[in-house]
Amino acid sequence: MLTALKAGQQVITSYKPSMPGTSAQVAAFTSWCESVASAGYAGEVWATVWHEPENNFATAADYVAEYMQFQPAAAASGIKFGPIFTTYPFLRKGFVLANWMPADDDFSYIGIDHYAGADPAGTFTNPLQSISQFTSYAKSRGKVFGIAETGVAPDLYTTAQTQAEAAAFIEDYESLGSSVRFMLMFNDPPPTSTSPPTAVP
């Protein structure tokens, strides 16, 4: 992390404490936050706890309560702190975003994990449409958001895609606008032959 920060890059970091989090873990996180701030990098660091909490917690209330054990330390140190959700259960299982969100003053961003095929509207539905409940929630509260994971790998929710479909899905993100602060690709499929890959425009 320090190498990236010294190179002028921002860093997104995720912590997965025990459930429930312990006082020792809160103290360790607090110490880490203070060290980041004292080194002058607080404004360049984005942090979260329990990335994709909907996969770890029985209820939204349980998650928010645990999140709030760690949030004050990040806020006091000036570190950007917020939840990162995967879209699948919100698009397919009826999860309600507002139930999983802390109070408006207790998050500085929303992170979004979205993959081709997560939306029942269609495998290559424009991702901006699929993530709109998250982006709208953030914007309506004057907050920013980021794409923490995205991809078109067929081993997730899709079974096949043409290169054109895959490229179009990723290119659609270019219209996100100024509220997006980061975007990370994840889980590209491994090559299936020794032939050189074809460049995606």
Structure confidence by residue, pLDDT tens digits, 92-144? 999 999 999 999 999 999 999 999 889 999 888 899 999 999 999 999 999 99
Q: Distance between CA 201 and CA 36 in Å, rounded?
A: 38
Instruction: Answer yes or no: is pLDDT of 157 > 80.
Output: no
Rounded average pLDDT over 66-94: 96
Q: Distance between CA 45 and CA 39 in Å, rounded?
A: 12
Look up the pTM and report it.
Answer: 0.87
89 three-state secondary structure: helix
Q: Is 18 exposed, middle or buried (0-12, 13-18, 19+ CB in 10 A)?
A: exposed
Structure confidence by residue, pLDDT tens digits, 129-140? 999 999 999 999
User: What is the tally of helices (H) and strands (E) in the chain?
Assistant: 8, 7
What CA dihedral angle connects 15, 19, 24 and 25, to 10 degrees?
A: 10
Residue that has been written with the tokens 């929630």 in this structure: 137
Residue 64: other Cβ atoms inside 10 A: 19
The pLDDT assigned to 190 comes to 45
Among candidate residues 14, 57, 7, the one with its CA nearest the CA of residue 149: 14
Q: How confident is the model at residue 155 (pLDDT cuts 50, 70, 90)?
A: low
Q: How confident is the model at residue 161 (pLDDT cuts 50, 70, 90)?
A: low
Among candidate residues 112, 115, 116, 93, the one with its CA nearest the CA of residue 101: 112
Among candidate residues 120, 46, 128, 133, the one with its CA nearest the CA of residue 85: 133
**Tokens standing for 140?**
């309506």
Q: Which position has the higher pLDDT, 42 or 68?
A: 68
**Tokens standing for 67?**
């999140």
